[in-house]
Amino acid sequence: MKTPRVMRTGMLRRSHALMVSPRLWKSRFVFWFGALATGLISVLFAVMADEAQVVFHHVIGGDGWHRFLPLVITPLGMIFCAWAAFKFFPGSQGSGIPQAMAARHFRDDEDRKSLLSLRLVIGKIVLTVVGLGFGASIGREGPTVQIGASLMLLSARIGGMAHARGLILAGSAAGIAAAFNTPLAGIVFAIEEMSRIHTPRTNGVILSAVVIAGVASIWLLGPYTYFGVSDSVAAFPKDWGIAVACGLLGGVLGAFFSRATLQLTRRIRRMWTNNRLRRVLVVAGLAGLVVAIAGVITDGMTFGTSYEQARGAVEGQALPWYFFPLKLLATLASSISGIPGGLFAPSLAVGAGMGSFLGEYLADDIGLAAVLGMAGYFAGVVQAPMTAFVIVFEMTGNHANVMPIMFSAMLGYGVSRLIAPESLYGELARLWIADILRLSRANGPHNTPHSNS
């Protein structure tokens, strides 16, 4: 056992090494720069995504023939995005969270580069913005995770830092924190969903990245809550019935979405294996048509992130009953289409619509029901109840309903796990790992992934 004197000597040596080691300071500087870049790029990404949606709704606005334009331009736009991702940015398809999870399993830097790189950062941003500009039901939050992880991994290479897996985790957390201005959700998401194994040292790295990226976001956009501030208060026991209903239905629908996404993705991967480009184009076109039809039926409500609809529900405005099933369908079609884009914001919009629907029959407060619906459905989709609870809590500023939000999230998670034992992001990550291993075997021997990640 070390004596106090020996321990103090060791601490002094480490402190001295910190002060005099240029290499250590270079690593720290590059790390801070990577986290800062994540925050700044996330803000730029958010502005571009919002502008793309404004332009799209301006083009299709009006009561005339313009409202039917999506039946043509949405499938064509999604075909273009899927083609560009396939030809120029392979690895950018879909959410981006499974790619970041898969990258943590590999030791070899070349394997990681196919999932996390500066090239993919560019492709992810450009094609997600283009997809939103054509009405795809996607979000920018999952892509921001891949962007943050890519930037932090690039920082590790430049700074000569070890522990790349921890930096990928930190970049993922910073991406979530900067995308929604939800620092706690970024930390919880990294620990709960991205990594089942974490250490105090890794947690410190995550916290540092989240703080730096979050400060950059707040510096440019100011402090804000993504869906405004909900002042609804749940009375016990009167309003807990809606918490139960949102958790149960959210879990069922979340499990349906998760299972449908996985099953359709696996079936699509088995189609036309000798002509993959044909498969990409056909699937994207059909998915785009589904998205367009849903959007035309709802008069444009299901296009893009549906942020305005979700925020309206949180603020107490009832949504049509058909909004949430058609938004779910449009998000499912977009998720399997092969275009870059996430499902956080669209899923929260589905949950808000579901809660609004239930609230009209079971609650006096539509806003409260919408918030609980977001927690229940989102937890059912991602099967990460702590992340669902914290992200909804932070995005609505609803401090008075911590317990019912947590209850709906836990119930949604439990119901979803009973119906769909496979985790959506985890299973999609396994598909990416399988692709990398198959490519590695074809090109020569590489290091195998960690078995305990």
* pLDDT value of residue 193: 65
Backbone angles phi, psi at 448, to 5 degrees: -85, 160
Helix H or strand E encompassing 342: none
- What's the mean pLDDT in 192-206? 56
* pLDDT value of residue 201: 52
**pLDDT tens by residue, 241-271:** 899 999 999 999 999 999 999 999 999 999 8
For the chain, the C-alpha Rg in angstroms (whole number) is: 22
- Topology of domain 240-426, CATH: Clc chloride channel (1.10.3080)
The better pLDDT of the pair 103, 412 is held by: 412
* pLDDT value of residue 210: 62
> Which residue type, as a one-letter code, is found at position 9?
T
**pLDDT tens by residue, 108-165:** 777 788 899 999 999 999 999 999 999 999 998 889 999 988 988 887 777 666 566 6
* Domain chopping of the chain, boundaries: 28-221, 240-426
Sorted by sequence, the CB contacts under 8 Å of residue 139 that are 6+ apart come out as 305, 341, 342, 343, 344, 345, 346, 347
Domains 28-221 and 240-426 share a fold: yes
Record the pTM: 0.87
3-state secondary structure of 319: coil
* pLDDT value of residue 451: 35
Sorted by sequence, the CB contacts under 8 Å of residue 47 that are 6+ apart come out as none
pLDDT of 232 over the 60 cut = yes
**pLDDT tens by residue, 400-409:** 778 888 899 9
- What's the mean pLDDT in 164-183? 75
**Which residue has tokens 């994207």?**
284
* pLDDT value of residue 83: 97
- What's the mean pLDDT in 313-342? 95
Q: What angle do CA 366, 395, 48 make, to 5 degrees?
A: 110
Helix H or strand E encompassing 276: helix 276-297
* pLDDT value of residue 356: 94
Helix H or strand E encompassing 400: none
CA within 13 Å, CB half, 421 = 0
Q: What is the mean pLDDT of the chain?
A: 83
pLDDT of 1 over the 60 cut = no
β-partners of residue 94 are: 340
Superfamily of structural domain 28-221: Clc chloride channel (1.10.3080.10)
3-state secondary structure of 290: helix
* pLDDT value of residue 12: 47
CA distance 80 to 45: 20
CA distance 222 to 217: 7
- The single-letter DSSP state of residue 340 is B
CA within 13 Å, CB half, 104 = 27
In percent, the amount of the chain with pLDDT more than 70 equals 78
Instruction: Provide the pLDDT confidence category of residue 235 given band limits of 50, 70 and 90.
Output: low
